[in-house]
Structure 1
Amino acid sequence: MTKLCILNVVGLTPKLLPHAPNLSALGNHRPWRSPVPAVTCTSQATMLTGLAPRDHGVVGNGWLYRDTQDVRFWQQSRTLIQGDVVYDRYQTAKMFWWFNQTTSAELGATPKPHYGCDGSKEFDVLDWTGCQLTDRLGPFPFFAFWGPAAGIASTQWIADATAMVMRDKQPQLTLCYLPHLDYDYQRFSHHDPARVAEVDAAAAKVIAAAEEIGAKVVVVSEYGLVPVDTPVDINRVLRRSGWLQVRNGPFGEMLLPGESHAFAVADHQVAHVYVRQSELIAEVRNTLEQTPGIAAVVDPGDLQLDHPRSGELIALAEPNAWFTYYYWLSDDCAPDFARTVDIHRKPGYDPCELFMTSKLRAAARLAQKKAGMRYKMDVIPLDPNLVRGSHGVLPADDQDGPLILGPGDLPEDMQGFPAYVESMLGNPG
């Protein structure tokens, strides 16, 4: 039985590949075309289904749920992907790839905290590998997976866990997600080759396990990150025009999507703009087109995003710009979650969660937690100028975009990936 391991090395580009000798040695590579938005959830759904976003429905990392009028990001249910996925047809270990709950993957692990009724949270993973990963490797380093302390430790843990599962279970198909380059390449405009060397060393552990069980290795990436220096407060533009509505309260201003005539769901360099009344669409488009940092405002169908989850308009940032989700006009009115790492409550993506206002403040909050006191980890700055890297629109140079590396005839587009996988594993019929 042919075996295959797919390493998803987030942020790896043809330009960076020479700094990754273990990955480079695996075979030929080529740039490949991602969907727009070029973000994790949309790219992975496209790779796994071979469908465009208009067909699989994953139009971003988050979107407006029109039936509840809630914006939700980073949902993990496999049922959000509308279409068959390639791993349905094989014995699969799905290690930290997204949409990894209610999945058909026979083996896998994914981050999943425990939430108490008093608002407390305990970090953990869902592990259905049968390998007792946290018993053997120690707790998953959640603080190294996302937030101000995000770094190599989470990628190393995932690599070790994947290698363990491959050796113990020998799955036919292994999907391994290595996020390391996503962190400093958003914090700094310079792409330090040392970060590539670090993720390459982690990948070497998985490659070694693949060799032991006779699995071929394919490397993919979802997007490349580009330097940025211009945050675009798209929701503040809409609010000043009188279209975005909020509710003030004891925890700051809260966005009211259902009462807003227009608001944006910001996702890196792409924003879905939801316009409640069709007669306002032209005026909203014109206002946004005149906003500095916005390159274009297009119809969803122009980008294969014409799906009910999409906004009525899609805003695309200039290459050096990105969209904040901020909708308050004064930081004194910011909601309390804005200064915390809270990826599910924020109605948009917030890269400022990679930064910290004060280590001393964080230590004080941890002391409150250990003492059993109520606390909030309000250490995230509200300064979008700290962010120095982003992604989402297609890069001008494909050497700065995503790649695929492996044997055989490599697909030019992520939509061709399921057929490529089946060409190596065989069609199970």
Structure 2
Amino acid sequence: MNKSLLIINIAGLGAEAITSATPNLLGLSEVGGRLAVQPPVPALTSVSQATLLTGTRPVQHGIVANGWYFRELAEVLNWQRSARLLTGAPLWEAFRERDPGVRCANLFWRYATHASADLNVTERPTYWADGRKSPDIYTEPSTVRDELVERLGPFPLFRFWGPAADITSSRWIADATLHVLGQQQYGVILTYLPHLDYDHQRYGPESPQGSAALQAVDREAGRLIDAAQAAGLRVAVLSDYAFEKVSQPVYLNRVLRAAGWLQVQRAENGELLEPGASTAFAVCDQQVAHIYVNKRSAVGEVRKLLANTDGVERVMHGEEMREAGIDHARAGEMLALAAPDHWFAYPYWLEERLAPDFAGCVAIHDKPGFDPAELLWTPGWQGKLKVGWRLVQKSLGLRAPFDLIRRDPTPIRGAHGRVPTTDANRPVLITSWPIEATQPVPMESVRALLI
């Protein structure tokens, strides 16, 4: 059997989503195998990808969320890219142990910068001195950046995340993958199709828009599957989590602030969270939140408060976190899990007039938590109609925020992160070869099935 392999990560693909509406994925599963997968705690992009890469749990690989509190800096940092944050040998190094001559390519998986793969490609915007942000990618070797941009055009960053996010970014990544595949230089290729992340959050996984997104990403996956099999590669399709329907945001930081445990600093651009001065605060991401408590004596009171908050199903601490494999030094003192139909929103301000200026912007590195409302346009002229005016201001050299997103997150209808108990909410592994295992397969065991 040819050991060359294409691994396609389709974000948010559920184990029960493979039907006649996804003919390419269904066809692959019928000739090979399909297994439901139990994700790590928490089931978030960065955590799951680190688990898939290393075959270990967060307590070992160290990726505890998409962002966490860096205690030595007293800052919350989200969506970091450095491979130095990941502990453990990634998947491609395991392939090299078996065959030292194999070359490996990593396209758009997390922690790609300075990773040990032979080719790394990931999004990395250019931040200009005048405040502009423009689309770009980071590659190793660096010459590949010019090669891909010349061939495919600039990476569509604003279609990768934000209110305009759509299939365009997944199609660009698929085209880049086809280009790499056509070079016939790599025995192992990892790639990523993020499209389900958008309308599954905006409208819910069971909505008509969510179903259309599933069909669209199946078409892109089909192009990759066909090309890989024509080149003689094995194919694996997997996901890092699956969405569930939600309708109620829960504001943990506002609960902690009302109790006097969260501190803010009034600044020229609004109220700013001061995690280092706070007794306790939450780093919220989808349906989970790391709760950091700077005063150990307050742990019990904080846990009791949050456990009794509407929309909170469970607050893990101590032995519970150890059993879940999340008791890493980067983790919070507690981990809160949302109740069904709920998710955790990051806002901490109590009056809208005191909101920080980045609240209405796509600002993933400024916000002390994840904000899915960045996928939503502000209604009316303040949203799409305002884009043209902001572009004119930028063209004139004026500094102006792209404050175009909805500040009210209540329309969000899909989220993930909770511990799934049914295959409808579990991710999936599909292979072009037969596989057998007791289901659901722990995500840390998927790597061995691929090798």
The two structures have a TM-score, normalised by structure 1, of 0.96
> Does the residue aligned with 2:327 lie in a helix, a strand or coil?
coil
Alignment match, 1:426: none
Residues 390/270 of structure 1: CA separation in 2 closer, same or farther (3 Å cut):
same
2:85 corresponds in structure 1 to 80
1:250-329 correspondence runs (5 A): 250-299=268-317, 300-329=321-350
Q: Secondary structure at the match of 2:34?
A: strand
Which residue of structure 2 lines up, in the alignment, with residue 419 of structure 1? 448
Written as runs of structure 1 = structure 2, the 5 A alignment for 1:386-397 is: 386-397=411-422
State the alpha-carbon separation in 2 of the partners of residues 50 and 143 from structure 1. 32
**Per-residue CA shift, 1:55-109, capped at 9, x if unaligned?**
1110000100011111001000111111111112342111111111011111131
Aligned to 1:425: none
Match of 2:23 among 17, 21, 24: 21
1:302-322 deviations in whole A, cap 9, x for unaligned?
Answer: 421111100001111002100
1:332 aligns with 2:371: no
| Mapped partners of 1:221, 1:212: distance in 2 | 23
Runs of 4+ in 1 over 4 A off after TM superposition: none
1:277 Cα shift?
Answer: 1.3
SS at match of 2:178: helix
Q: CA deviation at 1:212?
A: 3.0
Report what 2:166 is aligned to.
Answer: 151
- 3-state SS in 2 of match to 1:127: strand
Counterpart contact for 1:86–1:418, Cα < 8 Å:
yes
* Distance in 2, Cα, partners of 1:104 & 1:20: 34
Counterparts in 2 of 1:25-44, with a 5 A limit? 25-26=27-28, 27-44=32-49
Deviations 1:330-382 (A, max 9, x none): 11111111110011111100000000111112221111112221111011121
Structure 2 counterpart of 1:377, which letter?
F
Shifted more, 346-355 versus 110-119: the winner is: 110-119
Match of 2:74 in 1: 69
Aligned-partner Cα distance in 1 for 2:324–2:285: 15
Name the structure 2 match of 1:385: 410
Deviates more, 1:255-264 or 1:413-422: 413-422
Aligned residue in 1 for 2:183: 168
User: Shift of the alpha carbon at 1:413?
Assistant: 1.5
Give secondary structure in 2 for the equivalent of 1:31: strand
Q: Does the 8 Å CA contact 2:346/2:370 hold for their aligned counterparts? A: yes
How do 1:333-352 residues align onto structure 2 when only pairs under 5 Å count? Answer: 333-352=354-373
CA distance in 2, matches of 1:169, 1:101: 23
The Cα of 1:410 is off from its aligned counterpart by 5.0
Separation of aligned partners in 2, 1:200 and 1:125: 25
Q: Are residues 1:220 and 2:220 paired?
A: no
Using the TM superposition, name which of 116-125 and 269-278 deviates more: 116-125
* 8 Å Cα contact 2:34-2:435 kept in structure 1: no
Work out which of the residue numbers 111, 115, 121 in structure 2 matches 1:109: 121
3-state SS in 2 of match to 1:228: strand
Offset, 1:421: 2.2
Match of 1:386, SS state, is: coil
Q: Is the 8 A contact 2:22 2:214 kept in 1?
A: yes
Q: Distance in 2 between matches of 1:318 and 1:163?
A: 41
Within 2, Cα distance between the matches of 1:73 and 1:14? Answer: 28
The more displaced of 64-73 and 379-388 is: 379-388
Match for residue 211 of structure 1? 229
Asked if structure 2 preserves the Cα contact closer than 8 Å seen for 1:227 and 1:388, the reply is yes
Give the counterpart letter for 1:419 in structure 2.
A
Q: What residue number does 2:260 align with? A: 242
Structure 2: 5+ residue runs without aligned partners?
97-101
Of 347, 362, 366 in structure 1, the residue corresponding to residue 391 of structure 2 is 366
CA separation in 1, counterparts of 2:324 and 2:256?
A: 23
Structure-1 residue corresponding to 2:99: none
| Residue identity in the other structure for 2:201 | Q
Contact 1:167 1:212 in 2 (8 A): no
Alpha-carbon separation, structure 2, partners of 1:121 and 1:294: 37
Look up the equivalent residue of 1:36 and give its one-letter code: V
Separation of aligned partners in 1, 2:4 and 2:347: 46
Matched residue SS, 1:347: coil
Q: CA RMSD of the aligned region, Å?
A: 1.3
